[in-house]
Amino acid sequence: MSYKIYLYDTDTDCIGSGTLSSAYIQTQLDAAAGADVEVHISSTGGSAFDAIAIYDLLKKYPGNVTTYIDALAASAASIVAMAGRQVIMSKYALLMIHKPMVGTGGNADELLKDVQMLNAVQERLAQIYMDKSQLDGLTINSLINAVTWMTADQALDLGFIDLIEDYHTQITNSLLIKNYTNNAPVAYQRCINKILNINNNSMNIENKELIEKNTSVLNKIMNFFKKVVNKQTITDKGALHHSDQLEEGSEVFQDEDLSAPAITDIYTCADGKQLDVKQGKIHRITPSAEEESQLTDEEDDVPADKLKPAAKPLDIQSRMQQLKARLHAQNALLTEARAAIEEANANLQKTRTEVKNEIRSSFIPEGSKRSSKAQTEPVAFFAPQTEVAKNAVKKAIAS
């Protein structure tokens, strides 16, 4: 169990006096005897020298030190907060940094010495902030000179703290991805589990932190799994989206995110197959007339007493629905082709300089910190995306 130390201002004490002095903190650390320590801070500040002394004591302490900014860590108190191996800030707290100050008097030479002393103190304070945040000296001194007040989100973005303490369950990007990919093929689930370390939290920590901190990475992974999980079938009433093969009991949806169940109705596919959908699930699948005729041809050699009753003539309304579904498929292909042509025309209008600026090299020198965006190349301006479009292109090439 962690040993707790509270640096809370009182009516008489602040950083440097009473229970907030470096001498008192030393006695508290001696009592902790190497156990993990939690330092809770709620202070407007005080002595910069005592703050540096407390910072050094906490940094040299052999046990693990975690500092908590409970309400306010201002002025000298912000220096103490930086001493934690992990700095945790309440979502409602504030962090403030400013130039060191002194009350003084005397002649010009004495005042000049005070100015020199204050500049030296600011250099030491700035170094502590730089060591924690990894910001450069110019940025840190600009924040100090401006008297900067920071919320928890701002302090986290700038690197002054490591974690925001919230009282709600944190939903991480990795959890969102895991929930979304539950219906993906097993091979893809194994792949994403390996990336996210579902079974071993001691490995690939950088991958997990990258996914949970970088929204663009999350979007790329989510889009990838949408393509893996999401299949679509063109019908006379538009596209039906699904994650499994179409069979009785399969769930079908109206949208690509697989969130809105398909409306109860009878849908006719481009091949003439009819899907009886009820409450977002396929209740019954009726084969197309061609499939039924094939079954009839296969039964020609079967004895008459074992033949099934002949199928009814193709209903005109069913035939119209089949044609309507095929028109939907053709319109989908035409929409893709039209978009591709428009993009091609736009590319033709670009100047030589604009085209040159779009060229991205896939070569990255060893040790380069160049953005990963430079490694990506745009897809061809016309590449059929849906199965219907791909099949149509194959047929056109074959003919």
Do residues 171 and 148 touch, judged by C-beta distance below 8 A?
no
Residue 387 CA: distances (Å) to CA of 230, 286, 375: 12, 21, 28
Please tell me the distance from the alpha carbon of residue 118 to that of residue 138, in angstroms, as a whole number. Answer: 17
Structure tokens that stand for 31 in this block? 């009592």
* CB proximity list for 53: less than 8 A, separation 6 or greater: 22
Catalytic residue among 43, 98, 174, 241: 98
Q: Classify strands 94-97 and 65-74 as parallel, antiparallel or unpaired.
A: parallel
Do residues 6 and 24 touch, judged by C-beta distance below 8 A?
no
Do residues 56 and 70 touch, judged by C-beta distance below 8 A?
no
Residue found by looking up tokens 């400013």 in the block:
98
Do residues 73 and 14 touch, judged by C-beta distance below 8 A?
no
Cα end-to-end distance, the chain, whole Å: 76
Dihedral, 225, 227, 228, 233 alpha carbons, nearest 10: 140
Verify whether residue 328 is a known catalytic residue: no
* Strand, helix or coil for residue 96: strand
Catalytic residue among 43, 75, 78, 288: 75
What residue type is 154 in one-letter code? Answer: Q
Residue 177 CA: distances (Å) to CA of 73, 208, 210, 213, 372: 36, 12, 13, 14, 21
Half-sphere exposure of 390 (CA within 13 A, CB side): 5
Nearest C-alpha neighbor of 319 from the set 281, 361, 289: 289
Structure tokens that stand for 262 in this block? 């398909």
- Conformational region of residue 383, where left means phi above 0, alpha means psi within -120 to 50, and beta covers everything else: beta
- List, by residue number, the catalytic residues: 75, 98
